[in-house]
């Protein structure tokens, strides 16, 4: 059975647009692909440590040489990396906060960027080790960042695409639910996001 990793970042629970659309996307994947194992990672309730000297040292210590304390420190990072490597597709649902990703997403990024596990350095430069698999980024925002004067302020989409590509994930599709705070436009904007989901799943998804 194929596995979908669903990552949610919004702390707003049932009021979250990104969560609702992420769930709809997973359900649409199930309708297209058949039964899927869904692994959910809620970044709003998972306590993620920030990188400090001890954690950095543990990451760069060869596994056989790590102390028990270092293994414990890396346990959540190992868990997140294992989830990412095991998934056949990834759905990452997050709001735009202050023109970029929420801090929890940045913390997740720091913990899954593991030299020797998700990327490596070669003579030709860094190489992603995750393997190319479809990634759907469900992005919700009060303003419009895909076009117009605020496009230059979007530090969410390009950053995520670049990082995911660094790990080897090149098949990144962004579903935009934007302009949700514009008066009288929220329903039309949500309908647009749902159309984007349908269009994104027209092509084959998982090999």
**Using one digit for the tens of pLDDT, what is the confidence trace for 16-65?**
999 999 999 999 999 999 999 999 999 999 999 999 999 999 999 999 99
DSSP state of 202: S
What integer pLDDT is reported at residue 114 of this predicted model? Answer: 97
Residue 7's SS3 state is strand
Q: Are the CB atoms for 57 and 113 separated by under 8 Å? A: no
Tell whether 115 is covered by a domain: yes
Tell whether 164 is covered by a domain: yes
Regions of the chain with pLDDT less than 70: 207
Tell whether 207 is covered by a domain: no
Tell whether 153 is covered by a domain: yes
Tell whether 137 is covered by a domain: yes
Sign of CA dihedral 45, 59, 78, 129: positive
The total domain count for the chain is: 1
CATH of the domain at 135: 3.40.50.360
Tell whether 10 is covered by a domain: yes
Tell whether 206 is covered by a domain: no
Can you give the residue range of the structural domain that contains 51?
3-200
Q: Give, in order, the Cα–Cα distances in Å from 70 to each of 16, 56, 57, 112, 201.
A: 36, 10, 8, 16, 42
With CA atoms as reference, report the closest residue to 94 among 20, 149, 190.
Answer: 20
What integer pLDDT is reported at residue 207 of this predicted model? Answer: 66
Predicted TM-score (pTM) of the model is 0.95
What integer pLDDT is reported at residue 76 of this predicted model? Answer: 97
What integer pLDDT is reported at residue 200 of this predicted model? Answer: 95
Tell whether 145 is covered by a domain: yes
122 exposure class (CB count in 10 Å sphere: 0-12, 13-18, 19+) = exposed
Within a 10 A sphere around the Cβ of 21, how many other Cβ atoms?
24
């Amino acid at each position: 059975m194929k596995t979908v990793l669903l990552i949610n970042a919004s702390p707003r629970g049932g009021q979250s647009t990104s969560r609702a659309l992420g769930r709809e996307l997973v359900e649409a994947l199930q309708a297209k692909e058949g039964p899927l194992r869904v692994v959910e990672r809620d970044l709003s309730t998972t306590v993620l440590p920030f990188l400090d000297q001890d954690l950095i040292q543990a990451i760069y210590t060869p596994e056989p040489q790590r102390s028990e304390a270092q293994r414990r420190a890396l346990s959540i990072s190992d868990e997140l990396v294992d989830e990412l490597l095991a998934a056949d597709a990834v759905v990452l649902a997050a709001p735009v906060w202050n023109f970029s990703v929420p801090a929890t997403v940045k913390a997740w990024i720091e913990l899954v960027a593991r030299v020797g596990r998700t990327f490596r350095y070669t003579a030709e430069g860094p190489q992603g080790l995750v393997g190319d698999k479809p990634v759907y980024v469900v992005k919700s925002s009060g303003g419009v960042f895909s076009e117009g004067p605020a496009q230059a302020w979007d530090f969410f989409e390009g950053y995520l695409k670049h990082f995911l590509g660094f790990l080897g994930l090149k098949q990144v599709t962004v579903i935009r639910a934007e302009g949700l705070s514009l008066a009288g436009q929220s329903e039309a904007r949500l309908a647009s996001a749902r159309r984007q989901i349908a269009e994104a799943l027209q092509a084959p998804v998982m090999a």
